[in-house]
């Protein structure tokens, strides 16, 4: 039998992060690569209690559900989002298998092969992968520490006639960047005028280390999801637990309706057992207190990685110290190729993600992303020692 | 904001069954429409125990998992499939969000807009919906009580140059039909020669009412998934519980690899909490004994619906008495339009699915599908009384 795959597979590349994850499984490699939350902080006993409450509800809890997702959880999420300035009603919200599925569904219903999407530079690598598979052209827009450059955005809209802009404005992956309020407001105004859809991906927004500043979602700068140029997605993966793969997406009811139909064709619905479990968790467990604990812990770990980077710094190396999220973005000396460095690093027993994977256009090959939420202090110290050895070895060869 | 949806949405219709399900929610309508299993038989206490065992494993059970799914469950499923004559190894199996996702992923990686797929006549309505959305042309092949007509299959292969054949050979939805061993063998031979992929959808195979005959999967007529012209999919939805949305797909490792990459882009992975729960369920609960109970119960309900149909039979009406599965297929007198009949039926307080939804080509409008697994005896009696009243009212108007 000879298999003849579709044109979809031609653009389909496996994610670099997940391939590295596979390589490191079962080995004694310290990984700064994945985007894994700290397991020690998963609220497992609260989760057990939540699921037992679901089972107490009776056998109906195991039946098929609506494609839209478990209604009481959707209602709860509307209330939660209201605190962030997003006034969604039930027809504006769909539950998904993680926010990754929200991205996939929106691409399906809104973009056609050959369409252009504007993205940050660098941007979330899995979204580049989705666009490639669907034959969508991702065009990077310049940016700085305050977010996307609005002049370049206007100019790229003019030149490329895009159908969508994809952004992660709060503690971005990989950059750890957070957009200023001015830029948030500006992108809504620009896209409203240009009749251009914004996909706001917000998996890390809750992981802000301190409350000194507020970073309201871009969607909150529009009056209501109904008629909004913004579609917003987030997930329980980073604030509760990833294994349940429960995310949500908020948008105009017509957009949500098309996404719901696409979801029905894709998988009928996501696990409603998990959705019911999360509903019970939100009802009987102080998730916000839990999130505060994670925030403090991640802040501590970020500061540790930052200090270790200072300790092992080589000339020409720089990085950011993010205000939230799970990643630190490192620029290595000019001329260093982080993909080559990774090969040496894995031999030393440490992994990270080369920055090149996060560029839709020409990559800066001397960049890399480090996750600091999954390793404990001892692992981070040992991992950075190994990283430093591999970097020195690399620098001696060039 | 004006939204401009993709070409995907143009072919995207909401499923008739699910639209009816929505209409009937919260109302006192007796539904023969959905494909819902009997809730009374969900093994909820065994499921509670299984999930508690997962939580006992510690916090790691809440972490991200592999796209392929929870490895121990994949191993268990390989062993289970071996009993059905399918010798799959780990690289041949992928866990999905129900078998619906297996269908969606295979369509993505194997078919390109404009391709042709051959289907049974009638066939599973959701698959028609998926094909339409992706711009795939579904061409019906004639059949009889023994399955697809092999002469018509050969002729349609010749004429339409299809890339795939989609079949549900064991207790099909909607027909309740089961293919003979000869036809199973024949389709594999024909498709091997024609280099044509078969998607064997087998959600109901375990729901055989008695063990007099064996219906081995079509895939078992091929030597091994590696190099096979068959891709096989099934689900826990009908034998354990649908809320967990856990299905699996077996095929050549290259096909599974492409599907895994497509799944990674679509949702990273399905709920591994649910997959771990099902692993513990299989390990500590006698699922086969449980399936025997369901089989007996469904047989009893099928016989009841059959006897009620005899009681309310009108001239020109006929139906099958299936050997397994969840559906009974009714042909009404010539000239009756089941969609029109449904409107009267819903007023009377009973629902079913008009047969027209299950035809990829010209529909037989005087057909309908009845589910007998979700209603209890009293509901079935009352429902059929209402059905009969609406049928009589309909017949008086024409």
Residue in B closest to A125 by C-alpha: B265
- What's chain B look like in SS3? CCCCCCHHHHCCCCCHHHHHHHHHCCCCCEECCCCCCCHHHCCHHHHHHHHHHHHHCCHHHHCCCCCCCCHHHHHHHHHHHHCCCCCCCHHHEEEEEHHHHHHHHHHHHHCCCCCEEEEECCCCHHHHHHHHHCCCEEEEECEECCEECHHHHHHHHHHHCCCEEEECCECCCCCCCECCHHHHHHHHHHHHHHCCEEEEECCCCCCECCCCCCCCCHHHHCCCCCCCCEEEEEECCCCCCHHHCEEEEECCHHHHHHHHHHHHHHHCCCCHHHHHHHHHHHHHCCHHHHHHHHHHHHHHHHHHHHHHHHHHCCCCCEECCCCECCEEEEECCCCCCHHHHHHHHHHHCEECEEHHHHCCCCCCCCEEEEECCCCCHHHHHHHHHHHHHHHHHHHHHC
- Reported confidence tier of residue B251, pLDDT bands at 50, 70, 90: very high
Answer whether A61 sits within 8 Å of B44, measured CB to CB.
yes
Q: Is A163 left (phi over 0), alpha (psi -120 to 50) or beta?
A: alpha
What is the reported pLDDT for B13?
A: 74
**Chain B hits for A64, Cβ within 8 Å:** 34-36, 237, 242-243
Taking chain A (398 residues) in runs of 10, the rounded mean pLDDT of each run is 92 69 72 92 98 98 96 98 96 98 98 97 94 96 96 98 98 94 98 97 96 93 94 97 98 97 96 98 98 97 98 96 96 94 91 94 96 96 97 92
**Chain B hits for A71, Cβ within 8 Å:** none
Tell me if residue A293 falls in helix, strand or coil.
helix
Q: Lay out the sheet containing A246-250: strands in order across.
A: A93-97, A246-250, A230-235, A197-201, A164-167, A116-120, A137-141
What is the reported pLDDT for A363?
A: 95
Last residue of a domain, one of B284, B307, B328: B284
Q: Which residues contact A82 (CB under 8 A, 6 or more apart)?
A: A88
Whether A375 is covered by a domain: the verdict is: yes
Answer whether A9 sits within 8 Å of B58, measured CB to CB.
no
Whether A2 is covered by a domain: the verdict is: no
At which residue do the structure tokens 């919260």 appear? B26
Answer whether A97 sits within 8 Å of B34, measured CB to CB.
no
Please tell me whether residues A176 and A262 are part of one structural domain. yes
Number of domains in chain A: 2
Q: Which of residues 183-222 of B touch A (CB under 8 A)?
A: 192, 195, 197
A294 reaches B (C-beta below 8 A): no
Whether B1 is covered by a domain: the verdict is: no
B343 reaches A (C-beta below 8 A): no
Opening angle at CA B151, ends B149 and B157, nearest 5: 100
Domain region containing A351:
7-42+289-397
A53 reaches B (C-beta below 8 A): no
- Reported confidence tier of residue B246, pLDDT bands at 50, 70, 90: very high
- Reported confidence tier of residue B15, pLDDT bands at 50, 70, 90: low
Whether A1 is covered by a domain: the verdict is: no
Strands A327-331 and A350-351: unpaired
Please tell me whether residues A51 and A26 are part of one structural domain. no
Please tell me whether residues B324 and B183 are part of one structural domain. no
Please tell me whether residues A266 and A128 are part of one structural domain. yes
Candidate from B6, B109, B276 with C-beta closest to A9? B109
What is the rounded average pLDDT of the residues B174-192? 96
Please tell me whether residues B215 and B88 are part of one structural domain. yes
What is the reported pLDDT for A11?
A: 84
Please tell me whether residues B380 and B352 are part of one structural domain. yes
Is the distance from CB of B244 to CB of B274 less than 8 angstroms? yes
Opening angle at CA A374, ends A373 and A378, nearest 5: 100
What is the reported pLDDT for A23?
A: 67
pLDDT of B225 over the 90 cut: yes
Residue in B closest to A25 by C-alpha: B66
Please tell me whether residues B183 and B274 are part of one structural domain. yes
Answer whether A8 sits within 8 Å of B58, measured CB to CB.
no
- The shortest C-alpha distance from A7 to chain B (Å) reads 6
Whether B245 is covered by a domain: the verdict is: yes
Tell me if residue A235 falls in helix, strand or coil.
strand
Whether B2 is covered by a domain: the verdict is: no
- The shortest C-alpha distance from B54 to chain A (Å) reads 9
- The shortest C-alpha distance from B308 to chain A (Å) reads 26
Residue in B closest to A45 by C-alpha: B55
A254 reaches B (C-beta below 8 A): yes
- Reported confidence tier of residue B12, pLDDT bands at 50, 70, 90: confident
**Chain A hits for B109, Cβ within 8 Å:** 5-6, 8-9, 12
Please tell me whether residues B273 and B296 are part of one structural domain. no
Of A298, A295, A278, A373, give the one whose Cα is nearest residue A46.
A278
Answer whether A3 sits within 8 Å of B244, measured CB to CB.
no
CATH number (domain holding residue B131) = 3.40.640.10
Whether B84 is covered by a domain: the verdict is: yes
Last residue of a domain, one of A231, A252, A284: A284
What is the reported pLDDT for A362?
A: 95
Last residue of a domain, one of A255, A284, A313: A284
Digit-coded pLDDT (tens) for B70-121: 999 999 999 999 999 999 999 999 999 999 999 999 999 999 999 999 999 9
- The shortest C-alpha distance from A388 to chain B (Å) reads 28
CATH number (domain holding residue B14) = 3.90.1150.10
- The shortest C-alpha distance from B65 to chain A (Å) reads 7
- The shortest C-alpha distance from A196 to chain B (Å) reads 8
Please tell me whether residues B202 and B241 are part of one structural domain. yes
Please tell me whether residues A201 and A120 are part of one structural domain. yes
Interface test with A, best of B18, B48, B62, B247 (most A CBs within 10 A): B62
Whether B111 is covered by a domain: the verdict is: yes
Please tell me whether residues B106 and B211 are part of one structural domain. yes
B47 reaches A (C-beta below 8 A): yes
Please tell me whether residues B137 and B203 are part of one structural domain. yes
What is the rounded average pLDDT of the residues B20-41? 82
What is the reported pLDDT for A13?
A: 74
- The shortest C-alpha distance from B350 to chain A (Å) reads 20
Answer whether B39 sits within 8 Å of A47, measured CB to CB.
no
ipTM of the complex: 0.96
What is the reported pLDDT for A21?
A: 58
What is the rounded average pLDDT of the residues B165-190? 96
Q: Lay out the sheet containing B230-235: strands in order across.
A: B93-97, B246-250, B230-235, B197-201, B164-167, B116-120, B137-141
């Amino acid at each position: 039998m000879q298999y003849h795959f579709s044109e979809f597979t031609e653009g389909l590349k496996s994610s670099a992060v997940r391939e590295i994850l596979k390589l490191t499984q079962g080995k004694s490699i310290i990984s700064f690569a994945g985007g894994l939350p700290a397991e020690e902080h998963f609220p497992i006993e609260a989760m057990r209690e939540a699921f037992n409450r679901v089972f107490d509800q009776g056998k109906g809890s195991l039946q098929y559900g609506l494609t839209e997702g478990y209604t009481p959880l959707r209602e709860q999420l509307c209330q939660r989002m209201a605190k962030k300035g997003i006034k969604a009603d039930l027809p504006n919200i769909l539950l998904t298998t993680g926010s990754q599925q929200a991205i996939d569904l929106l691409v399906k219903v809104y973009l056609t092969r050959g369409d252009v999407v504007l993205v940050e530079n660098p941007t979330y690598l899995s979204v580049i992968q989705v666009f490639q598979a669907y034959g969508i052209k991702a065009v990077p827009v310049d940016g700085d520490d305050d977010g996307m450059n609005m002049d370049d955005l206007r100019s790229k809209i003019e030149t490329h006639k895009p159908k969508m802009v994809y952004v992660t404005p709060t503690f971005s992956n990989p950059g750890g960047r957070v957009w200023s309020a001015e830029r948030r407001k500006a992108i809504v105004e620009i896209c409203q005028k240009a009749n251009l859809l914004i996909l706001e991906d917000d998996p890390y927004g809750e992981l802000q280390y301190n409350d000194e500043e507020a970073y309201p979602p871009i969607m909150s700068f529009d009056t209501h999801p109904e008629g909004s140029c913004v579609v917003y997605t987030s997930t329980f993966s980073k604030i509760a637990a990833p294994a349940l793969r429960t995310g949500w997406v908020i948008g105009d009811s017509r957009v949500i309706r098309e996404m719901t139909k696409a979801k029905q064709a894709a998988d009928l619905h996501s696990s409603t057992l998990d959705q019911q479990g999360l509903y019970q968790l939100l009802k009987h467990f102080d998730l916000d207190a839990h999130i505060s604990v994670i925030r403090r812990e991640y802040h501590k770990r970020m500061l540790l990685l930052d200090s270790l980077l200072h300790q092992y710094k080589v000339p020409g190396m720089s990085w950011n110290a993010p205000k939230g999220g799970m990643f630190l973005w490192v620029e290595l000396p000019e001329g260093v190729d982080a993909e080559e460095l990774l090969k040496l690093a894995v031999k030393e027993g440490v992994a990270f993600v080369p920055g090149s994977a996060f560029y839709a256009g020409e990559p800066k090959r001397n960049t890399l992303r480090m996750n600091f939420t999954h390793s404990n202090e001892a692992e981070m110290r040992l991992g950075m020692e190994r990283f430093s050895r591999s970097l020195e070895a690399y620098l001696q060869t060039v």
